[in-house]
Structure 1
Amino acid sequence: MPRTIAIVGASFAGLGVARWLEPRAENADVEVVLIDKRPYHEFHALLYEVATGAAAGRPEDCEKILASGVCINLHAYDRLLKGTHLTFRCDEVVGIDRRTRTLQLRGGDAVRYDALVLAIGAETAYYGIAGLKEHAIPLKSVRDALRIRRRMLELLDRARRGTEQKISILIGGGGATGVEFAAELANYLRTLVARGDIRSHDYEIAIVEAAPRLLAAFPERLSRMALQRLHRLGVRVLLDAAVKQVELGRAIVAPRSLKPGEEREQLLCGFAGDSCTLEADLIVWTGGIQFPSLPREAGFPCDPKGRVIVDVDLLVQGEQCVFALGDCASFTQHHLFWQKSGAGFTPSRATQPLPPIASIAVREAPVAAANALGCLDGYPLRRFRPPTLPSIVPLGGKYAGLAYRNWTWVGRGPWMLRSLVDLMYFCSALGLVIGLRMWWRGARMYVQND
């Protein structure tokens, strides 16, 4: 009787595992089941392009065209693999019984597994901020991106007709998603100004970040380049500032909480007083993520943020044949550095989880897949060695910033390199032909704004 490897989550990590296992499943006498609650996979790294995209035709047709560059129909993917040992089930896993090795689905069915791979990604975190969930739009799905686009088109139509005095857009969160969206939106609006559709004083964009710099998880050089670029594009940047409350049409922003030893004057928030009110016709929230509660509820070990704790082979700590990768996994890196001690220096070790980014997840996928297959036959598990990768952040139009070790590069070159990286992601999950076709469709379409 064939053994079953269940993959929960059709993220890039999950699809990567499925792709690796599919050609090997028959010889290994294994059935692979990919389970996701949505019938499509989304490439989150390009959602900002959908939110600011330009396409000709009826509104509903435009939306389908824009979404087609980041969405993969998993039912069509399943039909493509018909006759193989890989199947897709569109359902939500609501429970995991570790004792019987069974997944409970919302539709009522149960799936028994011999090996389990968790690739369930992350969700938007609102941190209990009053009114945020009700009045802001996240940028975590194609549906979110299209909601943002519809609202922008509505506001632009008002500006053209003279019924809107000034369009105000507020972006909460200065991480990669917030910076990429702010830069692309500013570039798009400047294009409309150049065409004569709107005037330069018809809009304003502000981005609020609680850290003392943008892109806090990236090298500081890249943060400086991003800040300079946003300033050139006319984006107002408020650092060391946190969104405290959101109401219809406005947000209340205050200086972030002080750390031990800090003084209020050291903060970079750029406004006087305990808080300020920012008027906003559109509020986009990109300020944080949280992790699904499913693993914790199932009893798997999790870190304080809710990520599943894994060993160097991506095996969930204390489990047999259960693996986790991508955003939902807490894989700890160990850094060796020299610390001053008395008259000399002593070696010290620091630990830090890998960041939840697609480039890491794609490289984890073949290791998790090989280990899920190998554990069924008692083979030694492979170790995942995190690569040292360049950081690339698109900064509006055909422009991006790249930082690698002590080297930085800004301009069109990093933008082209980022496009090739996107191509690699598509091909790793979909195969060369389909991946190339989907990448090319998106590249031709999204470049229209540039």
Structure 2
Amino acid sequence: MRVVVLGGGYGGLLTTRKLEDRLPDGVELLLVDDTGDHLVQHELHRAIRRPSFTDAISIPLTELTERATVRVADVEAVDREERVVELDGGDSIEYDAAVVAFGAETAYYGIEGLEEYATPLKRLEHAAAVRREFEAVLEAGGGEVVVGGAGLSGVQVAGELAQYARDEGVESHVSVTLLEQRSDIAPSFPANFRDAVRDELRERDVDIRTETTVTAVDDGTVSLDDGEHAYDQFVWTGGITGNHGLGGDRPSVRADLRIDDRTFGIGDAVEITDAEGTVVPAAALAAVRASETVAENVTRVVEAAREGEPRPRLKQWVFDTPGWLVSVGDGAVAQLGPEVFTGAAANVIKSSVGVTYLAEHGSLRRAVSVVQEDLRDL
């Protein structure tokens, strides 16, 4: 039998590691990823200002797995009826059970000019491009920087670029504007968390414009529903859509995280409603916490299939979180239970989260480098 995990992000990697311990002997475990590296996505924005951080947040999957075979390939399609994964180059892989974990892609919503002129932030090369574009703004003596989409990614990008301008002593020459279509920033998160994030952004002179819809983009102008906004740099973090490996779809799954009898989904690749009816946010924390249930259910399905038994009863997942965390330049906002922390306390929490993740799922060397970078912020 063969189990394939498609994608080496948070959900894919952690599910793979759990399956390495749980799958019966003789079951092949294959991890397919288009880069072969695990990217610590929630730290990606930091590579904009500090390119040296790249090595700490990009880790070869072969260093993080033991039993699983890692294959570097792009998934072009998943034929769930035939249980076949189609790869680039014409190769294919048959499977007995699969976990779809290859994340989502940036959504452009058919907005004219948006994909052509805006830079997304999903990969290391995107962070490098955002840095180059911002340096061009600085070299020109300043200008207008616009970030579209005020979810956590947009908040972190806007905060990082505003902090970059401060670091260079040119904050009076660089304007950073954060656009959000909905009525508030970080709209999926608790009100006290949103309030603290807004305060951190304003402390860094980020201009926040909510209830503002991007309708078109050209070379230098963002057209909005209430006018136009000139820009010298435009970064887009305004939403996600399904991965091309599933034809652009994000299948809806319930609390057992099952797409069909032998295929499961985790992370941004799917839309999840948990056992309590909660629509789970597309966030790294959700993927991390769902990996236990996915691994357990895949194992139950495999064991039942090997024994010729009917479909087993599957574990039901309830999304619970101890809180939320977002970086805003050299600052941070952390929510633990009902309490919200900013300043030094939030920075300590931010540092400990990064170090713990890398120490457990990456390497001590990379964890130490995170500490060294964070010490510069305190």
- Cα–Cα, structure 1 residues 443 and 154, in superposed 2: closer, same or farther, change >3 Å? farther
The answer on whether the counterparts of 1:19 and 1:429 sit within 8 Å (CA) in structure 2 is no
| Structure-2 residue corresponding to 1:332 | 273
The answer on whether the counterparts of 1:211 and 1:241 sit within 8 Å (CA) in structure 2 is yes
Partner amino acid, structure 2, of 1:4: R
| Structure-1 residue corresponding to 2:60 | 73
TM-score after normalising by structure 2:
0.91
Deviation of the 1:404 alpha carbon: 4.3
Kindly report structure 1 stretches of 4+ aligned residues shifted beyond 4 Å.
446-450
Secondary structure in 1 matching 2:5: strand
Task: List aligned pairs for 1:370-381, cutoff 5 A.
Answer: 370-378=296-304, 380-381=313-314
Matched, 1:14 2:1: no
Count of residue pairs the alignment pairs up: 371
Q: Report the Cα distance in structure 2 between the residues aligned to 1:334 and 1:109, rounded to whole angstroms.
A: 37
Deviation of the 1:24 alpha carbon: 4.0
Partner amino acid, structure 1, of 2:185: L
Q: Report the Cα distance in structure 2 between the residues aligned to 1:428 and 1:122, rounded to whole angstroms.
A: 25
Q: Report the Cα distance in structure 1 between the residues aligned to 2:99 and 2:360, rounded to whole angstroms.
A: 18
Partner amino acid, structure 2, of 1:385: V
Secondary structure in 1 matching 2:185: coil
Partner amino acid, structure 2, of 1:216: P
- Cα–Cα, structure 1 residues 234 and 311, in superposed 2: closer, same or farther, change >3 Å? closer
Q: Report the Cα distance in structure 2 between the residues aligned to 1:354 and 1:386, rounded to whole angstroms.
A: 7
Q: Give a deviation string over 1:90-111, Cα, whole Å, max 9, x none.
A: 1122233334322222222221
Partner amino acid, structure 1, of 2:256: D
| Structure-2 residue corresponding to 1:441 | 369
Matched, 1:88 2:14: no
Please point out which of 207, 216, 219 is paired with 1:245.
Answer: 216
Deviation of the 1:446 alpha carbon: 6.1
Range 137-146 or range 108-117, more displaced: 108-117
Q: Report the Cα distance in structure 1 between the residues aligned to 2:268 and 2:370, rounded to whole angstroms.
A: 24
Q: Report the Cα distance in structure 1 between the residues aligned to 2:375 and 2:222, rounded to whole angstroms.
A: 32
The answer on whether the counterparts of 1:139 and 1:286 sit within 8 Å (CA) in structure 2 is yes
Deviation of the 1:407 alpha carbon: 2.5
Deviation of the 1:380 alpha carbon: 4.1
Please point out which of 149, 167, 172 is paired with 1:201.
Answer: 172
- Cα–Cα, structure 1 residues 236 and 440, in superposed 2: closer, same or farther, change >3 Å? same
| Structure-2 residue corresponding to 1:306 | 249
Partner amino acid, structure 2, of 1:244: T
Matched, 1:41 2:38: yes
| Structure-2 residue corresponding to 1:425 | 357
| Structure-1 residue corresponding to 2:47 | 50
TM-score after normalising by structure 1:
0.77
| Structure-1 residue corresponding to 2:107 | 125
Q: Give a deviation string over 1:75-126, Cα, whole Å, max 9, x none.
A: x43xx75xx5310111122233334322222222221211111102111001
| Structure-2 residue corresponding to 1:347 | none
Greater Cα radius of gyration, structure 1 or 2: 1
The answer on whether the counterparts of 2:254 and 2:275 sit within 8 Å (CA) in structure 1 is no
The answer on whether the counterparts of 1:401 and 1:409 sit within 8 Å (CA) in structure 2 is yes
The answer on whether the counterparts of 2:220 and 2:230 sit within 8 Å (CA) in structure 1 is yes
Partner amino acid, structure 2, of 1:192: E
For structure 2, the residue ranges without an aligned partner over 5 or more in a row are: 305-311
Deviation of the 1:235 alpha carbon: 1.2
The answer on whether the counterparts of 2:120 and 2:236 sit within 8 Å (CA) in structure 1 is yes
| Structure-1 residue corresponding to 2:347 | 415
Partner amino acid, structure 2, of 1:357: A
Q: Report the Cα distance in structure 2 between the residues aligned to 1:412 and 1:131, rounded to whole angstroms.
A: 41
Deviation of the 1:131 alpha carbon: 1.2
| Structure-1 residue corresponding to 2:291 | 365
- Cα–Cα, structure 1 residues 365 and 447, in superposed 2: closer, same or farther, change >3 Å? same
Q: Give a deviation string over 1:41-61, Cα, whole Å, max 9, x none.
A: 2222111111122xxxxxxxx
Task: List aligned pairs for 1:164-183, cutoff 5 A.
Answer: 166-183=142-159
Q: Report the Cα distance in structure 1 between the residues aligned to 2:359 and 2:38, rounded to whole angstroms.
A: 14
Q: Report the Cα distance in structure 1 between the residues aligned to 2:239 and 2:199, rounded to whole angstroms.
A: 23
Q: Report the Cα distance in structure 1 between the residues aligned to 2:202 and 2:234, rounded to whole angstroms.
A: 19
Q: Report the Cα distance in structure 2 between the residues aligned to 1:136 and 1:225, rounded to whole angstroms.
A: 28
Deviation of the 1:137 alpha carbon: 0.6
The answer on whether the counterparts of 2:76 and 2:244 sit within 8 Å (CA) in structure 1 is no
Deviation of the 1:429 alpha carbon: 3.6
For structure 1, the residue ranges without an aligned partner over 5 or more in a row are: 54-62, 160-165, 255-274, 298-304, 336-350
- Cα–Cα, structure 1 residues 227 and 44, in superposed 2: closer, same or farther, change >3 Å? same
The answer on whether the counterparts of 1:30 and 1:85 sit within 8 Å (CA) in structure 2 is no
Partner amino acid, structure 1, of 2:251: V
Q: Report the Cα distance in structure 2 between the residues aligned to 1:404 and 1:73, rounded to whole angstroms.
A: 32
The answer on whether the counterparts of 1:362 and 1:428 sit within 8 Å (CA) in structure 2 is no
- Cα–Cα, structure 1 residues 130 and 143, in superposed 2: closer, same or farther, change >3 Å? same
Q: Report the Cα distance in structure 2 between the residues aligned to 1:423 and 1:201, rounded to whole angstroms.
A: 34
Q: How many percent of aligned residue pairs carry the same amino acid?
A: 28
Cα RMSD after superposing both structures: 2.2
Secondary structure in 2 matching 1:121: coil
